[in-house]
Amino acid sequence: MKLYTHQGFDEFILCVGYKGEMIKDYFYHYKVMNSDVMLELGHPDRTESGQ
């Protein structure tokens, strides 16, 4: 998919069946799961994320 995205494609159709929810969950949370997160102890209301 990364190769196709590099070529300009930005929409994909995935036929999912068995464990399809796991695949959907992966793509739904992709950005969160692949980003760095920094927490500053003593300031629970302050978080920072980046890539």
pLDDT per residue rounded down to tens, the chain (51 residues): 889 999 999 999 988 889 999 988 988 888 888 888 777 777 666 666 655
pLDDT given at position 1: 86
Q: Residue 6's pLDDT is what?
A: 93
Pairing of strands 36-39, 47-50: antiparallel
Q: Look at residue 44 and tell me if it is in a domain.
A: no
The CA distance from 11 to 35, in Å, is 22
Domain encompassing residue 20: 1-35
CA separation for the pair 45, 42 (Å, rounded)? 9
Q: Does the residue 43 lie in any domain?
A: no
> What sign for the dihedral angle of Cα 15, 20, 23, 28?
positive
Q: Is residue 45 domain-resident?
A: no
Total domain count for the chain? 1
CB atoms within 10 A of CB 23: 13
49 assigned to some structural domain: no
